[in-house]
Structure formats: structure tokens, C-alpha cells
Amino acid sequence: MTNSFLNIANVSKAFTTPEGGTVHALDDVSLDIREGEFFVMLGPSGCGKTTLLRSIAGLEYPDSGVITLDGQRIDDLPAYSRPVNTVFQSYALFPHMTVGQNIAFGLEMEGINKTETAKRVSDALDQVSLSGLDKRKPSQLSGGQQQRVALARALAKQPKVLLLDEPLSALDLKLRRGMQIELKRLQQQTGITFVFVTHDQEEAMSMGDRIAVFKDGKIVQLDTPQEIYRRPVNSFVADFIGETNLLDGIATADGVQVPGGGFIARSVIASDCVVPASGSVTIAIRPEDLKISDGSGSLKGIVRDVIFTGETVRVHIDLGTTEVVAHLPSYGVRVPDRGETVSFSPLDQSARTVAS
């Protein structure tokens, strides 16, 4: 894979609010998206991810910066001239047209002949496992099937990049997880570069080859799901990507003193982290990395809630000035009772120092 198939260089975009203020939706954003990559842009509402997707699609024009695709500058081209296609959260299917007609519509508008159009429609339906449903109307399909039609319509135009703007958010949880697997397989099968926007961190983690985490119009971390989860660059990423416990403490020669009199030894802090000799420090610990012990743990607190979720048991522990959450297996270990005082510690090398 090349390193500059889709290149975003120093792109900025600002909007004026109704009150007369200015919102910097994109603030000097640069990144390279590789050919054949499933790339995810992740972040909370208003962080800039959708504005960047729309800028690639030609639905927004940046105030500054350059966007190139496969060596061609596209940020100054109209949307219809860009070799990209977009699948939106709303499927935007024509209700009076059949599935086949919906998929063929864009091809016909481009003047592609009937034989080629029919072949592309058939191939696209095969790709999304909807062969034989081309005569149905959208109202005769389930939500998941309508989503597949929207995908087939986009794929039929054979774009160099497929842009997906939270396309699964309208589906229920079980169907959404099934579609995540299908989308990933479809991307691998076609080899098309997918750029996927979501605010759902679990969705991003399960699908992306790499993830760009956005905040306030900037990319705060860009890496693989594994690296972002295990090595977040700051407390925002640590808290946004999965569940985490953030403990503010004071560094000492032996470790970090935390509120409530607990202590985190340097031996349980990942070796690639920098722990200052003194001063304030923030420690991030994933709930699955906390082990409730028989009294030998370096942290102590009172169990406030015990929540069974099926896969795990969530144990909420009050340290006096803050609360942490530990995830225990739902079987095979003793689960403490609500109101019980427990001691616990992070697993070796599992705690991390993070920037504020």
C-alpha cells in the first residue's frame, strides 16, 4: 500500500454561528490515507470528522489546505467530478424505484450504456448479498437490506474511495454488529479504500485498520486500534476509546500516591511510560486490568455497585475522592458484595501515565 493515496494537507474550515461567533470545524488537519485501507475517523459530535468527510466528498469546500487523491488535486473539483462516492446515515433511496433502478440511477446519469449498467447492478447486488431482490421496492426491505442497497449503489459507480458517514447508526445493536462484519469483508473483497466516520468507539475499534481520533477540529491521535487502546496519548483519548479509570496522583520515588491513601507502584506502570520523579501525574487503568485481591492490594475502597452485564461483572469502587470500575469475569471468581471494603491493584505493566 502506498502512503499518500488520499492526502489531506493543512485543511482548515470555519463556520459562522447564528450568534455571530466562529467555530473552527477543522484546524490545520493533515493526514495520509493508504490505498486499500479501512480508515476510521472517530470523535464526539462537533469534533470535525464529518466536515472532513464532506470536504473529501465535495459537499464542503475547505477555507485552506489541499486534498489530493491518487496524485490528483480534488478539493477544487465539483462533487460530481471526484472519483469518490458517499453512503449516508439516511439511505436516501428513491421509494418509487425498485432496488435495481436505485442502483442503476447514478450510472444512467453518467451515460453508461445499458449493458454495462446491468452488469454493474448485478455485480453490486452480488457483493452485498442481495441477488434476486432487484425488483423489490425499498419499502419491501428491512433496514439492513436498505443499507446494503445504499452500499450497492455506491459500489456500482466503482469509486476509488468510498466515504461512509455513520451508515450503521440507524440499525439495532445486533444488526449493526452483523453489518460491521459484512462491511469489513466487503472492503477486503473489493480492495476499495473505505473512509468511515463514527462516534462509536467500539465500532471504530472493530473495523478500522487505523483510527484518527478527533477533538475540537484537530487529530489528537492517529494509529492502529490496538495502539490507541493500549497507548493513548492523553486523558481524552484514554477516556473516549473504551472505558478507563483516570486517577490523579503525586509521583514519588517508588510510584504514584493517589487520593484516598492508595499507591500505584512503578512496577505496575508500563515500562514505556515516563513517570516524573515528583509532581502531579495522571494514571490511566483499564477496568479489565484491575485485580481485586484478598487484602494485599495497594488500593482500597468501598464497593458501591455490582452490575452483571453477561460477559462481565462491573464493580464500582469508591476511593473516597473518586470512583473506579473493575471488570470481573461473570463466573469463576468471587464477586464482592455491595458495601464491602475491598483491596485491589493494577496488573503488572497495565497502568499508564497520560497527559491531561
Q: Which of 207, 241, 221, 228 is nearest to 38 (CA)?
A: 207
Length of the chain: 356
Q: Look at residue 165 in the predicted model and tell me its pLDDT.
A: 93
d(CA 226, CA 241): 11
Q: Look at residue 3 in the predicted model and tell me its pLDDT.
A: 61
Q: Which pLDDT tens digit goes with each residue over 143-169? A: 889 988 999 999 999 999 999 999 888
d(CA 141, CA 146): 6
**162 near 112, Cβ under 8 Å?**
no
pLDDT over 70 (residue 315): yes
Prediction pTM value: 0.91
Q: Which pLDDT tens digit goes with each residue over 240-293? A: 998 999 999 999 988 999 987 789 999 899 999 988 889 999 999 999 999 998
3-state secondary structure 276-322: CCCEEEEEEECHHHEEECCCCCCEEEEEEEEEECCCEEEEEEECCCC
Element (H, E) at 106: helix 99-109
Q: Look at residue 2 in the predicted model and tell me its pLDDT.
A: 45
Q: Look at residue 17 in the predicted model and tell me its pLDDT.
A: 86
Fold of the 6-235 domain: Rossmann fold (3.40.50)
Contacts of 242 (CB under 8 A, 6+ apart): 201, 202, 205, 229, 286
pLDDT over 80 (residue 4): no
Which residue intervals of the chain bear CATH 3.40.50.300? 6-235
Which residue intervals of the chain bear CATH 2.40.50.140? 245-354
Structure confidence at residue 179 as a pLDDT band (50, 70, 90): confident
Fold of the 245-354 domain: OB fold (Dihydrolipoamide Acetyltransferase, E2P) (2.40.50)
d(CA 192, CA 349): 38
What average pLDDT score do residues 64-74 get?
Answer: 97
Q: Which pLDDT tens digit goes with each residue over 7-49? A: 999 999 999 988 888 999 999 999 999 999 999 999 999 999 9
Q: In terms of C-beta density within 10 A (0-12 exposed, 13-18 middle, 19 or more buried), how is residue 37 classed?
A: buried
Percentage of residues in the chain with pLDDT exceeding 90? 79
pLDDT over 90 (residue 88): no
Q: Look at residue 1 in the predicted model and tell me its pLDDT.
A: 42
Q: Which of 195, 165, 189 is nearest to 69 (CA)?
A: 195
d(CA 147, CA 172): 12
Contacts of 53 (CB under 8 A, 6+ apart): 41, 86, 163, 165, 195, 197
d(CA 187, CA 179): 12
Average pLDDT, the chain: 92
Q: Which three cell numbers stand for residue 207?
A: 473495523
Structure confidence at residue 220 as a pLDDT band (50, 70, 90): very high
d(CA 218, CA 64): 15
